Amino acid sequence: MTNDEAARPDASEPGPPTPPPSDERPRPRYGEYAPPGWSWQPPEQADAAAPAEPARAEPAPPPQQAAPADAPAAPAKRAPGWDRILTIGLLAFGAFGAWNSAASLQEIPRQMQLSYDMMGVGTFTPPEWLPTLSLIGTIVQLALYAVVLGLSVLRLRAGRLAFWIPLAGGAASFIVTLVLLSIVMLNDPTYVDFVTGVTSPSPTPAP
């Protein structure tokens, strides 16, 4: 082997790695170097371009059962036959009682004098307001009976119990009469003095 051959490098021995050639092209920005047929799309457009999944058919709701027709309401229970007879009888008696109560209010001075005679306390002097009070009491008694009569007729036509209405009206009429008489008595000085013991009954003259 000559000196020239010895100085040559052996082709079988690997030499130092050769650096890759530098790419002098500008840096791609908008896909200049993309493969043919490819184009860039924003994410929103890409999603819109993607084929939409077919909508799933919702199962149809089960058919609703028709509500059963309302059962006919049971007829209201009507009042017994004796209620009509009793109510009419009480109304007739109440008419007489209302008239009698109204008339008795006009007789208060005479009734008070009878009480004075029984107690022996002298003569009753009617106050000036007594006629007005008697008139008010008469109107209240007649109006009360008119209300009782109207309510009773309405309940009789509706087939409902009505006998208790004249009874309640009679109790209310008695209370009104009692209140009016109490007003007259408690505003009479002679009667109040007798009740409180200030005035003693005068002796009954001997025959």
**Above pLDDT 70, what percent of the chain?**
58
Q: Check pLDDT > 80 for residue 192.
A: yes
Longest Cα–Cα distance of the chain, Å, equals 200
Q: Check pLDDT > 50 for residue 82.
A: yes
Q: Check pLDDT > 80 for residue 204.
A: no
Q: How far apart are CA 171 and CA 178, in angstroms?
A: 11
pLDDT at residue 48 in the model: 52
Q: Which residues contact 165 (CB under 8 A, 6 or more apart)?
A: 87, 148, 151, 152, 155
Average pLDDT of the chain, as a whole number: 75
Tokens describing residue 50: 């993607």
Greater model confidence, 60 or 166 = 166
| Range of lowest pLDDT (9-13, 96-100, 106-110, 121-125) | 9-13
User: pLDDT band at 117, cuts 50/70/90?
Assistant: confident
The string of DSSP codes covering 85-131 is HHHHHHHHHHHHHHHHHHHHHTTHHHHHHHHHHHHT-------TTHH
Average pLDDT value for residue range 93-97 = 91
Q: How far apart are CA 49 and CA 106, in angstroms?
A: 107
pLDDT at residue 207 in the model: 47
Greater model confidence, 67 or 150 = 150
The tens digit of pLDDT for each residue in 32-62 reads: 555 666 666 665 554 555 555 555 655 666 6
The tens digit of pLDDT for each residue in 119-147 reads: 887 788 888 899 999 999 999 999 999 99
User: pLDDT band at 175, cuts 50/70/90?
Assistant: very high
Q: Which residues contact 126 (CB under 8 A, 6 or more apart)?
A: 108, 109, 112
Helices (H), the chain: 3-7, 43-49, 81-105, 108-119, 130-157, 164-186, 189-196
| Statement: the pTM of the whole predicted model exceeds 0.75 | no
